[in-house]
Chains A and B, each alone.
Chain A
Amino acid sequence: MKKKFGNLRFYFIFFLIVLAAGCIAVRLFYLQVLKHGFYAALAEGQHEFTKKIIPQRGEIFIQGKNNLLYPLAVNRTYQTVFLTPKEIMDKNEVASKLAPIVEIPEDKILEKMKDPEDPYESLKSKLSDEAVQKIKELKLAGVYLSSENLRWYPQENLASHISGFVGFKDNQRIGQYGVEGYYEKELAGSSGFLSSEKDALGRWFLVSDYRIQPAQDGADIYLTLDQNIQYAVEQKMKEVLEKWDSKNGCAIVMEPKTGAIRALASFPEFNPNEYNKVESMNIFLNSCVQGLYEPGSVFKPIVMAAGLDTNKISPETTYVDTGSVQIGGYVVKNSQEKTYGLSTMTEVLEKSINTGVIFVQKTIGGETFKKYIETFGFGELLGVDLSGEAGGNLKNLYEDRDINFATAAFGQGISATPLQMTAAIAAIANNGKLMKPYIVEKIVESNGEEKKTEPQEIRQVISAQAAGKLTAMLVSTVRNGYDKVKIKDYFIAGKTGTAQIPSEDKRGYSEETSHTFVGYAPAYNPKFIIFLKMEKPRGIQFASESLAPVFSDLAQYLFNYYEIPPEG
């Protein structure tokens, strides 16, 4: 009997052991076979890490004299101070010690620490080196520093509309406006990754195996801009805008023979380091490239170019000015209602006679006139490498109304950008060849590969002979028309424009004007063209008074800068 119970106990224990072993086997099968993928990933995650490698954004350089280069946009590591409130015991002490260093009131700092469970509160970014040092010395619990790589513009406001800035879009840092925006893809580069093992503290175990795909850093961009010319232009423009209480302006300096832009400034300007402090988004718009305006009399050389190129007029062609022209039901008068009598075409430009250019426009006919305007690049994009280029508006010319052709002859009723106007006049300077304006001299990839921009001719807009005659007429215009241009040792070709600005709230024009001066020198072998524009100046009537002195100063500066000897 005893033996029978003994056997039963043996079988029972044996059964329990087998059952337990079976359970363990089933569980192991479940964990190791069925859930293999999950646990393998979990284990891997505990001792392996994958890190995204952020590429270095390419930098932007501006030129100086003698091929020197200066940084316009670079990358800089900034320190940010942040708080972990749940680790801070004496909040008042931390607030009082940090307040003078980060220049934030104590109560604001205390407010950031009000949630005791809060693990992270950013306090201030872009700390100065001194502030970082002081915070480190304090050794406060719950106060940490972290670094972030941000864009820095060492020249601050200089060429801000050219550089643009790196801002946020959809939680990503992205170049906006200017070169930063236009060349975002080239500057940004592409990210890589690093996959390896980490130690118990979560740090990369440096001697372990790793897989790496290096990031491809962004390309560096070298601009055609010359920082000395840019600075001189900006200073002069600021002075004149302040003098005549004007808020908006634009200045361009370009090489007529190549289209290389040496300076381009739009006003008001901004500091790209503090782009978030700008009051209106409109300030980011580059009025030289994106701003359309009615150019006024500065457009008259284009009409003359058409007349000369078609051989319908010559500089000596005369007509009789009676002070006004009747077109349909409209009467178009000269500025200040002046009458000049018998006048040559050269005098038409010298005295900026409206009826004179209407005479030329009528002589060549509406269709030809329209064709030349288009050929000069108006109404189309020039293809400059800057964000948001506008093409202009020639809508009025397509209505085929005589009055529209007549007003367009003196630059009203059509709109263009300052850059289009500059390029068109530069074509006259360049023997009739219209060049594509460009701002980037070369792009250097992170592997050292260089892509250089070659000057690009868009088309021959007028013959070299017509361009030569027109240059002589424009030299005469500066010599006899603008006594404020006081440079007598050089041949300078130029033209002013004082245009009425269309009314914002009703049809027709307001009393306000835009002033333009465009000129190139040395006229017969031009090294530079200067375009200046000022909107809504107060207390001065004509561009020949307001902008001619600025043009004169800048031209003299450029003669000295380029070491161009006097011509006679």
Chain B
Amino acid sequence: MSIIFVLVILSVLYLIQMNTLVAKNFELHAFQKTLTQGQEKDQSLLVSLMQMRSLNNLQQAAKNLNLVVIEKANYLKVGLNSFAFSE
């Protein structure tokens, strides 16, 4: 009698364990799907960022903002006898 009781208990435990396992499996699939969606969104944003930072786009943006090219830079000339005081 006690053997049958133990067998029933073990069967119930086995069923619970299998049920949990399958449920976790479904949960993992759901998380995996969310992850894929997140990755797709992330990639889409990265692609937009790269497109915005491409030089052709920046050139166009600079043109639209009426920015001008630096033709020549003027450098400050420091004389040979120049020096700075310090306290």
Contacts and interface: CB of A to CB of B under 8 A. Distances in A.
B72 A156 contact: no
B54 A155 contact: yes
Contacts of B56: 155-156, 158
A156 B70 contact: no
A566 B76 CA distance: 10
Interface string B68-82: 001111010000000
Contacts of A77: 40, 43
B44 A129 contact: yes
B73 A203 contact: no
A156 B47 CA distance: 13
Classify chain B: how many residues form its interface, as a range.
20 to 34
Contact of B54 (A129, A154, A556, A566): A154
Interface in B14-42: 21, 24-25, 28-29, 32, 40
Contact of A206 (B25, B71, B72): B25
Nearest to B76: A565
A203 B50 CA distance: 35
A82 interface: no
A417 interface: no
Contacts of A560: 70, 72-73
A74 B71 contact: no
B55 interface: yes
Please report whether the interface of chain B is mostly helix, strand, loop or mixed according to DSSP.
helix
Given A560-B72, A560-B73, A563-B73, A207 B50 contact: no
A544 B8 CA distance: 99
A155 B55 contact: yes
B60 to A, nearest CB: 13
A199 B28 CA distance: 13
In this complex, which of B40, B44, B73, B75 has the most chain A Cβ atoms within 10 angstroms of its Cβ?
A: B73
A380 B29 CA distance: 59
Contact of B47 (A76, A158, A565): A76
Interface string A130-164: 00000000000000000000001011101000000
A74 B50 contact: yes
A132 B72 CA distance: 49
B29 to A, nearest CB: 7
Given A70-B53, A156-B54, A566 B28 contact: no
A366 interface: no
A154 B21 contact: no
Contact of B72 (A129, A227, A556): A556
Nearest to B55: A231
A182 interface: no
A205 interface: yes
B11 interface: no
Contacts of A227: 55
Given A76-B47, A560-B70, A560-B72, A206 B53 contact: no
A203 B29 contact: yes
A556 B70 CA distance: 10
A566 B75 contact: yes
Given A207-B28, A556-B71, A566-B75, A76 B43 contact: yes
B25 A207 contact: yes
A172 to B, nearest CB: 24
Given A76-B43, A76-B47, A129-B44, A205 B53 contact: no
Contacts of B73: 559-560, 563
B75 A565 contact: yes
Contacts of A231: 55, 59
B86 to A, nearest CB: 25
A55 interface: no
A71 interface: yes
A199 B43 CA distance: 30
Contacts of B21: 207
Nearest to B48: A129
For the complex of A and B, 5 pairs with smallest distance between CB atoms: A154-B50, A565-B75, A206-B28, A231-B55, A560-B73
Interface of A: 70-71, 74, 76-77, 129, 152, 154-156, 158, 199, 203, 205-207, 227-228, 231, 556, 559-560, 563, 565-566
Given A154-B51, A556-B72, 16 more contacts: A70-B53, A77-B40, A77-B43, A155-B54, A155-B56, A156-B54, A156-B56, A158-B54, A203-B29, A205-B25, A207-B25, A207-B28, A227-B55, A560-B72, A560-B73, A565-B75
